[in-house]
Structure 1
Amino acid sequence: MDHLNYHHLRYFREVANDGNLTRTADRVNLSQSALSSQIRKLEERLGHPLFDRVGRQLVLTEVGRIVLDHADRIFGTGEELVATLLRTGAASPPFRVGALSTLSRNFQLNFLRPLLQAQNVEIILKSGGASVLFEALKSLALDVVLTTEPPPGAFGSDFTAHRIAEQTVGLHGAAHRLRHDTLRDLLEHEPLIVPTDSSIRTGFESLIARLGVTPRIAADVDDMAMVRLLAREDMGLAIAPSVVLADEIASGLIETATFDLDIVESFYAVTVRRNFPHPVIAELLRK
């Protein structure tokens, strides 16, 4: 099957928008017969008439309306492509964000809030494991990856890990679970909800080794949303940055222990070197 001739499609679109062959021929600097020939070839290629003649006007057939709708989208996309590469035009391409599946939803929301408030950028959010997300970023299928760990060197040197936030990790839970005089006493007697996030888990293992305690683990969780849910249900004390339980802490449902765990979690926005980065990236990294 022959490919569609886009020159024919463009001339059809011009005539369809004008509704008058003579006027369009003058505007595009073609003779009427040449323009008619272009339209006829497109009709032959598609196997359907595109216009009905009503007096001196050309009126789209049902197929003609379908073809015009597709033509508008095809050439509109081309115009967006040129505007993107020239950094002109008001419309922005979709902003494709990858987020580690274990990452706090509240943190993701805070990072994207300027775009949500602007309401002029479509956001496509994909969650998954680090290796899948970094591969997608490397292939330019994503504009940024949000994570708690910079990418390992195996992914190459084109990545840049921007540290955009740092949160102190604490113990959060129902008030009745926090009535202990020492951190050691609390860790020995209260069930704990521990994320498998590597940086937090490493810090936690160091903490209990330093204190010489054997804690009771109520749940090992690989999703911060589940850490939040289990803490809300009073299944134990959650070891997490406060941003994970920000709403519950603000409402008084959850309280934070006063003990310093000496654990800090960093949050990164990882980008890859490219000639035409998404225009909102610079704004988000400046905040």
Structure 2
Amino acid sequence: MLNYKHLHYFLAVARSGGVIRAAERLHLTPQTLSGQIAQFEERLGVPLFRRAGRRLELTEAGRLAQSYAEEIFQTGAELEELLRNGGEERFITFRVGIADVVPKFIAHRLLAPVLELPEAVRLVCQEDRLDRLLADLAIHRLDMVLADRPMPPGTDIKGYSHPLGESALAFMAAPALAARLIGEFPACLDGARLLLPGRDSALHGALPRWLERQGRHMRIVGEFDDSALMKAFGEAGAGVFPAPAASVPDVMAHYKVVSLGETEDLRERFFLISAERRLTHPAARAVSEHARAGLFAPTRSAA
């Protein structure tokens, strides 16, 4: 039987990245905590950590154990809260995986209807690479996944891709950088520095190919798995960056950048991936219906 005290100690070390800091938080000596972790690993029969310099890194088994431990203690906290309230407050937990290349404003707009449902819903968002999210979806740790691409072909994971909509692509930059660019869009892109979404993004290969077809030469100065980090660099004037045209007003207001222009030749697509062919979770249905009702309204092309 699983020792939950050991599981609690393991999670503390995993979150802290080391025994000493975790021991301080748990009010234990490092020697005692190390011994408890060793007993836990011996009981499970697999190593959960490996040393990387002065830090401890999770093994593959350790990452899996951490994901389950997080869920176990979250469920325990929900049970405690429910019982403390006399069982009066009941809610539906809706766990969503968000591929880290999906723009945050798009994710927010897609998920906003969940919190407007008549049922009490607790939204739990987990951001990660698509392959890891799909693995969690397969073992029902997630109710759905938001992605910029459908299920990868040839994957062993059973899942279904539900199109939510698509948007033209805008190119954005800090005002000072935009003022130095010469010509109308897309000619103004020539010679500019480009911030490119990471390899997990559908745009990673499509955007350079489009630029080549247009005869535009941009210098890629950074690649970003996290869309918000890419925009933060763009706000600082590091380069031009792409964003869905549907999110341009939000991006302009939040990051104080300007739009250089849009193209319909490149489109960002968004999908709800579920383990079921027919959506049954009320929150997943709300996301799908809201998106289809016009979230991605057509925008006028600038090129």
Normalised by the length of structure 2, the TM-score is 0.59
Deviation at 1:209, TM superposition (A): 1.8
Give unmatched runs, 5+ long, in structure 1. 2-69, 78-88
Matches within 5 A, 1:20-59: none
Contact 1:104 1:243 in 2 (8 A): no
Residue 267 of structure 1 is matched in structure 2 by 270
SS at match of 2:282: coil
Match of 2:259 among 256, 259, 274: 256
Matches within 5 A, 1:203-214: 203-214=206-217
CA distance in 2, matches of 1:261, 1:216: 22
Residue 100 of structure 2 is matched in structure 1 by 101
CA distance in 2, matches of 1:235, 1:90: 48
Deviation at 1:230, TM superposition (A): 1.0
SS at match of 2:137: helix
Deviation at 1:258, TM superposition (A): 2.7
CA distance in 2, matches of 1:226, 1:156: 31
Amino acid at match of 2:227: M
Q: Give CA-to-partner distance per residue, 1:91-135, whole Å, 9 cap, x none.
A: 443101111122211111111111234482011111111111111
Amino acid at match of 1:138: A
SS at match of 2:238: coil
Residue 177 of structure 2 is matched in structure 1 by 177
Q: Give CA-to-partner distance per residue, 1:192-236, whole Å, 9 cap, x none.
A: 111125321222121222133431222111110111111111211
Q: Give CA-to-partner distance per residue, 1:24-53, whole Å, 9 cap, x none.
A: xxxxxxxxxxxxxxxxxxxxxxxxxxxxxx
Residue 296 of structure 2 is matched in structure 1 by none
Amino acid at match of 2:196: V
Contact 1:188 1:216 in 2 (8 A): no
Amino acid at match of 1:262: D
CA distance in 2, matches of 1:139, 1:230: 36
Residue 114 of structure 2 is matched in structure 1 by 115
SS at match of 1:280: helix
Q: Give CA-to-partner distance per residue, 1:47-93, whole Å, 9 cap, x none.
A: xxxxxxxxxxxxxxxxxxxxxxx9xx69x89xxxxxxxxxxx99443
Q: Does 1:202 align with 2:205?
A: yes
Deviation at 1:169, TM superposition (A): 1.2
Matches within 5 A, 1:149-168: 149-156=149-156, 158-168=158-168
CA distance in 1, matches of 2:152, 2:279: 24
Contact 2:245 2:262 in 1 (8 A): no
CA distance in 1, matches of 2:278, 2:167: 32
Amino acid at match of 2:100: S
SS at match of 1:141: coil
CA distance in 1, matches of 2:130, 2:167: 20
Aligned in 2, Cα 1:220/1:275: closer, same or farther, shift over 3 Å?
Answer: closer
CA distance in 1, matches of 2:232, 2:159: 34
Residue 224 of structure 2 is matched in structure 1 by 221
Deviation at 1:281, TM superposition (A): 1.9
Give unmatched runs, 5+ long, in structure 2. 2-75, 291-303
Deviation at 1:149, TM superposition (A): 1.0
CA distance in 1, matches of 2:279, 2:201: 33
Amino acid at match of 2:273: V
More off after superposition, 188-197 vs 263-272: 188-197
CA distance in 2, matches of 1:108, 1:161: 16
Amino acid at match of 2:93: P
Deviation at 1:185, TM superposition (A): 4.0
Q: What RMSD in Å do the two structures reach over aligned CA positions? A: 3.2
Structure 1 or 2, whichever has the larger Rg, is 1
